[in-house]
Copies of this chain bind each other. A is one copy, B any other.
Amino acid sequence: MSSDVEHMRSGRAIATGGGRRGTGVDSGTVATLPVVARNPVPAPRLTKQAVLVEAIALLDEEGDEALTMRRLADRLGVVPMALYRHVANKDELIDGVLDLAVSEVQLPSSRLGWRSGLRELGHSVRRTMLAHPGLVAPLVTRPSLGSSGLAIGEYGLAVMLDAGFSVEHADRGPKAVLTYTIGFVALEVPRRRQGFSADGADAPGLDFPVEQLDPERFPHTIAVRPRAAEFVSDAQFDYGLERVLDGLAAVQPTGKPTQRTTTGVRGGGARRR
């Protein structure tokens, strides 16, 4: 879950826990006010959590360009500089938001077997990223890998080692799956953003209609044209994912045969179980 956003600071210090503020024992200068007027509630101060949560909401609602310190501060009813008491700068804000989103990724059951496990992992990652399209750019752009990312890695590792893969394969296999998955979503998101017709009437991401392609240069592209629009489809995602999984099956240690539906026979189908 989200919770562990901050703790990774080496020193404790940060803490920011929820409840620590004590009862106001003093009275002091406040005397000018009636005693009763003191608000017993410690006042809901801004916290890093609150900032990150609001940031992700802003991102989801208004897109990545809308995420500015000023707008975020506005939504929190606060002046822009107030945010800097809780995040060092905008980069740290984005890292925090990213980790928050990554923490939403649902890890598949660990009883699943390597193939189903990795497949579900890929789907889960894609689902989460599509829910926060504004975070895809930061995801591929930033080097940081929060603890939530580590948990994903741990899952992949575990499921592969359990299946009898060597350490090398267990390490690299899930990385390949995630690389493919993240790459797909990264390419997919901007193409979804600009509308495209699923029937392939016009290929998304092309600056010009297929009609005016030079038949000399692009004979096959023209012939296959109706498929161009498929770059962002579920089916295309599944297809590539299954190919990676097939590739892993091909190097699986022979000791434990998996239910790969045998038959190198075409099968062609994207999904196999």
Interface residues of A (CB under 8 A from B): 8, 10, 136-137, 140-147, 150-151, 153-154, 157-158, 161, 166-173, 175-176, 179-184, 186-187, 190-191, 193-194, 204-208, 212-213, 217-221, 224, 227, 230-231, 236, 239-240, 242-254, 264-268, 270, 272
Tell whether, in the assembled complex, residue A10 and residue B251 are in contact, meaning their CB atoms are under 8 Å apart. no
The answer, among B168, B179, B220, for a CB contact under 8 Å with A268, is B168
Given A166-B268, A221-B153, A244-B240: A145 and B205 interface contact (C-beta under 8 Å): yes
The answer, among B151, B173, B179, B239, for a CB contact under 8 Å with A183, is B179
- B residues within 8 A CB of A153? 221
The answer, among B171, B172, B247, for a CB contact under 8 Å with A247, is B247
A-B contact pairs, 5 of them (CB 8 A): A141-B186, A143-B205, A172-B230, A179-B240, A183-B186
Tell whether, in the assembled complex, residue B140 and residue A224 are in contact, meaning their CB atoms are under 8 Å apart. no
Q: Is the interface of A mostly helix, strand, loop or mixed?
A: helix
Given A180-B240, A217-B154: A208 and B8 interface contact (C-beta under 8 Å): yes
The answer, among B184, B224, B246, for a CB contact under 8 Å with A171, is B224
Q: Which 3 A-B pairs have the closest CB atoms?
A: A183-B183, A243-B247, A176-B240
- B residues within 8 A CB of A142? 190
How far apart sit A53 and B254, CA to CA, in the bound complex (Å)?
53
